[in-house]
Amino acid sequence: MDLSLVDVLRPDGSSAATATLHPLVRDASRLDAGDQASTYLDLAADLLHEVAAPDPVVAGSENPVNWPAWQLITPHTFAVLAELVRRPETAAGTVEKAALAAIEAGRFLRARGVYAAAGDELRMVAQVCAERLGPEERTTLAARHHLGRELARAAYAADDLAAAESDLRDVRRIRAEVLGHEHPQTLATGHDLALVLASGGRLAEAHHELVVVWEARTRVLGAEHPDTRRSSDELIRLATPPGA
């Protein structure tokens, strides 16, 4: 009798195989890990970080081409991070690797339109990072940045953008102090802040913020970089009358 306790699946045309474990096998294996549990969790964090590390423009979780892979990866990122933070002996570097993968998974959920789950998971990641890594650490700020984007979307739907604006301004301030005013991550937060201002009808303020970001991105990243072009596109959109 086939109990389907462990299945190895290989989609048509794919060179990658996927192992599916029955929950009984998963839980029994976890119980048997014993003293090696931390080693396995460290390895899991390393592997998830390797998946999340490539160029986000090409291999990021917001790229629809990569959605089938992230559909499989996402539950593991949150589970591994949650298990790691239950262990006080976990090294900060291991928590950081798992958190970076979980942030990318949160971005995937948001890109797919699973907004409530994206907000909940990103809020968890931001809290974990603040507690275990520090409130001004880069990964903490990255988590807060993407949480701020989701807060902005939810706030726009509820016609209340003040919280999202406040959080993004705070993240940009800290990133500017820690990384520099023209660091790409600081500029990314400035770009998203401008979108929040535009969503609230504050078009002059949004235009000013976008010009500052676009000029800095042109200097730092180059005129043809996708982020620079994204800021340029938003400036054009702001200048285009509705319905034109």
Residue 236 C-alpha from the chain's centroid: 27
Contacts of 198 (CB under 8 A, 6+ apart): 206, 234, 238
Is 52 found in the same domain as 152? yes
Query: What is the domain count for the chain?
Result: 2
Q: Where in the sequence is the domain holding 146, given as residue range(s)?
A: 39-159
Is 99 found in the same domain as 64? yes
Written as tens digits, the pLDDT of the chain (244 aa) is 455 677 776 655 555 667 777 677 766 666 555 667 778 888 889 989 888 875 554 457 888 888 888 888 898 899 899 888 888 888 899 999 999 999 999 989 988 888 888 888 999 999 999 999 999 899 999 999 888 878 777 766 656 678 888 888 999 999 999 999 999 999 999 999 999 899 888 999 999 999 999 999 999 999 999 999 999 999 998 887 665 5
Asked if residue 185 belongs to a domain, the reply is: yes
pLDDT of residue 1: 42
Asked if residue 15 belongs to a domain, the reply is: no
Contacts of 42 (CB under 8 A, 6+ apart): 91, 94
Is 177 found in the same domain as 84? no
Is 51 found in the same domain as 129? yes
The count of C-alpha atoms lying within 13 angstroms of the C-alpha of 103, restricted to the half-sphere facing its C-beta, is: 26
pLDDT of residue 59: 55
